Structure 1
Amino acid sequence: MERMIHGKRLKDWLQMYPILKSIILSEEVFWLNPNYRRFSDVVNELPFVERDVLEAEERLKRFAPFIAAAFPETKGSKGIIESPLVEIENVQKEVAAMFQQSIPGKLLLKCDSHLPIAGSIKARGGIYEVLKHAEQLALAHGLLSVEDDYSMFASNPFREFFSQFSITVGSTGNLGLSIGIISAKLGFRVNVHMSAEAKQWKKDLLRKNGVNVIEHQSDYSRAVEMGRKEAEKDPNNYFIDDENSTHLFLGYAVAAFRLKKQLEESGIVVDQDYPLFVYLPCGVGGAPGGITFGLKLVFGDDVHCFFAEPTHSPCMLLGMMTGLHDQVCVQDFGIDNKTEADGLAVGRPSRFVGKTIEKLVSGIYTVDDRKLFMLLALMNDQEGISLEPSALAGVYGPIQLLREKTTYIQRHGLERKMEHATHLCWATGGSLVPIEEMKTYYKKGAHYIKNGKK
């Protein structure tokens, strides 16, 4: 008897979604979201408003004196955790040559790989949610008011106060790093449940920072589930839910308002004649989802957001395409969720994120692991920027968009505007990768380039 997948036979699924055949074979695909709408048509349906994001930004500003006091590397930015925006002209030329596809317009890299403290995009949402929780506890216990100097959070009395509370999270690596490092610095007891994909160096770094790391042989979804169950046993144990957290989401959304300022400072215009394309690596969906929401608030229909997933972990693609969201996992369709892009090794997407951005994201594409390593070596050679494999998923975006016979570009009347386009690839992590590990990544990428594995 033929196996049923969510009440349908495989051939029925394939008839409904022909692209599914390539997805199941772990081939690269480019999917355009049929539910995408004008922002003005959906803004009133969304669960958040601009005020929510601005409040998150205000909270981060209140904590800036603490961040500057606790993390010396942020003194230059006065405790604001932000990353550089750089134009990568050399990579633009080399990528175009490598994949025989011209890329008109500018190619930029948003270097969240080099965010202070946690060295990844997770320094945004993860650190924000911990700070919000710490603030709520301190306010509830009468330790401060919002008008106070928050550098007091770095003092021993505050650390002693927080030591009676725990924070727990499940992670493939980078979220655990950001939450573990900031929580331990504040004085919390921290438990990070790490999935099988988590790199050893990330676990070692957490332990060095005094974090309790619980290792699981199962994948990300199971690690999150175990963390949730542990936290439920103790009222003083706060669980940060990567799959459902509104606080993480809003912490990521703040990035869009800061990006607007960076683009203006760089003299880059974004309007109906100068479109902005943003390519965001996607795991469970929180970071790219939050940033997409923020970008839509700031730029409306002039920004076009695409998510990037590994060919072996296309969870958000399956969730959004079928409309099943967290009811479906990649393993349901025989996909193994095995990828070197550990930050994106997620088999089941967030329903909360998928439902929130289902009319905001323009499309989703997948990328083969080998290309991630090739692009990693290329980025190192051409720009001297070291990234971890998952951070390169965005760099493949312009190739996928421009290769897909320009359907999206034509549909949105962008053909004559592409010469003025800005392509922004969001680099999600890499600066904390140990040198020896990075050398191994680089050698692998150089090998693939030399042997012409495209």
Structure 2
Amino acid sequence: MVDFAALTARIPALTDAAAYRETVWVNHGRLPWAVAASRLDVTASAIDAAADRLARFAPLIAHLFPETTPAGGLIESPLVEAPRLGAALGVPGRLLLKLDSHLPIAGSVKARGGIYEVLKHAETLALDAGILRSTAADYRVLASADARAFFGGYSVQVGSTGNLGLSIGLSAAALGFRAIVHMSADAQQWKKDLLRARGVLVREHAGDYTAAVAAGRAAADADPTSHFVDDEHSVDLLLGYAVAGRRTAAQLDALGVRPTVEAPLTVHLPCGVGGAPGGIALGLKTVYGDAVRCWFVEPTHAPCLLVGMASGLGDYASIADFGLDGRTIADGLAVGRPSGLVAELMAPLLDGIVTVDDARLLPWVRLLHATESLDVEPSAVASFRGLTELAARDPAAAAGPQLAWLTGGGLVPAAVHAAWRRAGRRV
């Protein structure tokens, strides 16, 4: 039996976390890339295969979602400079923002992993049924009436606080699947309304994210025609996110950002269960190796990956074991138990984890709007805590290029954005 009280007393980051204090956990188990890469189960070739699959689907995506047409059916977001925000936050180096908050289709980073897993599942079914004769076929055949009728015999289910549910629900329904999203009590009403308007069945659960995932997994297990997208254990989700890390390298190069071991790129990623930041970090590492430093940021009330990694217990530990309640305005990060897959994968790769108090988030939402005319959800600006902490703790590293990954908010109603900005002013 684990003595969580003893762990809390022995490990400073857990002492802080259990008291809801902002903290920094430095991963002393991080290894040089050449050593870490040889031990990873998820390889660069698997990421390349995922990128190839997304390219095969691009004509179909452009057909189903015309907003992706300018990018040729690729689900991609801009990388932009943010000098005014950097000055306001006291960031001494060059600040870049990755706008996954404005990804097409689902308006969040979850459009990457979630939609990729739905597409891979659709491809497998279609190839087995002969609807696709080969991977060289024109995938737009999957938009035909016959294909939609075929997919209608299957369901896709997921448990979510909102954003993953949007990506899975919207993409699965567009292909003709019966899409079912199990949503936790802290999911926002507008997300449920949007899903229902697009023909997605939303099942609401009184518990938290973990309870919604468990309910979705049980429902899918009971239905042989159902596929469950498992945010805690899915390698396919992880690969969809990892493609983003590799694509971002080309965008960085176009902006003249060429990281080296002596002048590394530091990336700040909001973290919930861990799949999205874990996949992105892995993708970046396969390109830059030791020339990129990756930090995750979690809310003080829901630092699930911090407690899992700092304790060494992975997904055996939950925030409840340390007396934490999981209540945060950053609803996309309100997760009680980390992905064991990600905790293990990140053990030799991640630089560390920073936590952020909710009181900072709405003022930062307002600041981002004022400085860069960008509207995002509170979860997205959690990454700014990494920027301010690094500037205070390691000025030399902070002087190098910094990349804050904005993870969601593109589909948020304008009235909700306005309310967040007003609340940020009051804080």
TM-score bin (small chain): over 0.9
Deviations 1:274-326 (A, max 9, x none): 31000000000000001111111010001000000000000000000001111
User: Is 1:31 the counterpart of 2:29 in the alignment?
Assistant: no
Which one is further off, 12-21 or 362-371? 12-21
- Equivalent position SS for 1:45: coil
CA contact (8 A) 1:171 1:194 kept: yes
Q: Give the structure 1 partner of residue 177 of structure 2.
A: 188
Q: Which amino acid counterpart does residue 437 of structure 1 have in structure 2?
A: V
Which of 385, 394, 402 is the matching residue for 1:423?
Answer: 402
Give the SS at the match of 2:169.
helix
Q: Deviations over 1:110-155 (max 9, x none)?
A: 0000000000000000000000000000000111111111111222
* Paired residues of 2:8 and 2:322 also in contact (CA < 8 A): no
Q: For each residue in 1:163-208, what CA deviation from the matched residue of structure 2 results, as whole angstroms up to 9, or x when unmatched?
A: 0000010001000000000000000001100011110000000001
* Counterpart check, 1:292 vs 2:286: no
Number of aligned residues: 426
Over 3 Å off, 4+ runs: none
Does the 8 Å CA contact 2:387/2:398 hold for their aligned counterparts?
A: no
Counterpart amino acid of 1:205?
Answer: L
**1:402-421 counterparts in 2 under 5 A?**
402-404=391-393, 406=394, 415=396, 419=399, 421=400
- Which residue is 1:131 aligned to? 119
Residue 55 of structure 1 corresponds to: 49
Q: Is the 8 A contact 1:253 1:292 kept in 2?
A: yes
- The correspondence of residues 168-183 of structure 1 with structure 2, limited to 5 A, is 168-183=157-172
- The reply on whether 1:437 has 2:426 as its aligned counterpart is no
The 2-side partners of 1:13 and 1:274 are apart by 36
Report if aligned partners of 2:390, 2:398 keep a CA contact under 8 Å in 1.
no
In 1, Cα distance between equivalents of 2:185 and 2:94: 38
* 1:36-435 to 2 correspondences below 5 Å: 36-96=30-90, 103-144=91-132, 145-404=134-393, 406=394, 415=396, 419=399, 421-435=400-414
Q: Could you tell me how far 1:14 is from its partner in structure 2?
A: 3.4
**How far 1:403 sits from its partner (Å)?**
2.0
Distance in 1 separating the partners of 2:74 and 2:385:
30
Give the Cα separation in 2 of the matches to 1:7 and 1:342: 29
**In structure 1, C-alpha distance between the alignment counterparts of 2:265 and 2:410, rounded to whole Å:** 26
Cα distance between partner residues in 1 of 2:13 and 2:351:
17
Give the TM-score taking structure 1 as reference length.
Answer: 0.92
- Whichever residue aligns with residue 178 of structure 1, its letter is S
Deviation at 1:9, TM superposition (A): 5.9
Moved more, 229-238 or 392-401: 392-401
Amino acid across the alignment from 1:436 = A
**Residues in 2 aligned to 1:35 and 1:273: alpha-carbon distance in whole angstroms:** 20
SS in structure 2 opposite 1:19?
helix
What TM-score, normalized to structure 2?
0.98
Per-residue deviation, residues 321-351 of structure 1 (Å, max 9, x unmatched): 0011111111111110000100000010011
Work out the CA distance in 1 between the residues paired with 2:256 and 2:4: 53
Task: Work out whether residues 30 and 401 of structure 1, in 8 Å CA contact, stay in contact via their aligned partners in 2.
Answer: no
Q: How far off is 1:418 after superposition?
A: 5.0
Report the AA paired with residue 153 of structure 1: L
What amino acid is the match of 1:305?
C
Tell which deviates more after alignment, 163-172 or 42-51: 42-51
Distance 2:314 2:380 in 1: 24
Cα distance in structure 1, aligned partners of 2:234 and 2:205: 22
- Give the letter for the 1:238 counterpart: H
Measured after TM superposition, the shift of residue 239 of structure 1 is 0.6
Distance in 1, matches of 2:368 and 2:259, equals 26
After superposition, the Cα gap between the structure-2 partners of 1:15 and 1:332, relative to the gap in structure 1 and judged at 3 Å, is closer
1:100 matched to which residue of 2?
none
Using the alignment, how far apart are the partners of 1:374 and 1:400 within structure 2? 17
Q: In 2, are the aligned partners of 1:275 and 1:418 still within 8 Å (CA)?
A: no
Residue pair 1:281, 1:391 contacting (<8 A) in 2 also: yes
Contact 2:181 2:202 in 1 (8 A): yes
Alignment identity in percent? 49
Partners of 1:366 and 1:422 in 2: CA distance: 21
Choose which of 7, 16, 19 in structure 1 pairs with 2:2. 7
Distance 1:321 1:113 in 2: 29
Rounded to whole Å, the distance in 2 between the matches of 1:72 and 1:249 is 26
Q: 1:440 to 1:418 in 2, by over 3 A?
A: closer
TM-superposed CA distance for 1:24, in Å, is 1.1
2:66 maps to amino acid: P
How many Å apart are 1:20 and its aligned residue? 2.1
CA distance in 2 between partners of 1:125 and 1:443 (Å): 33
The whole-number CA distance in structure 1 between the counterparts of 2:269 and 2:354 is 10
Aligned twin of 1:452: none
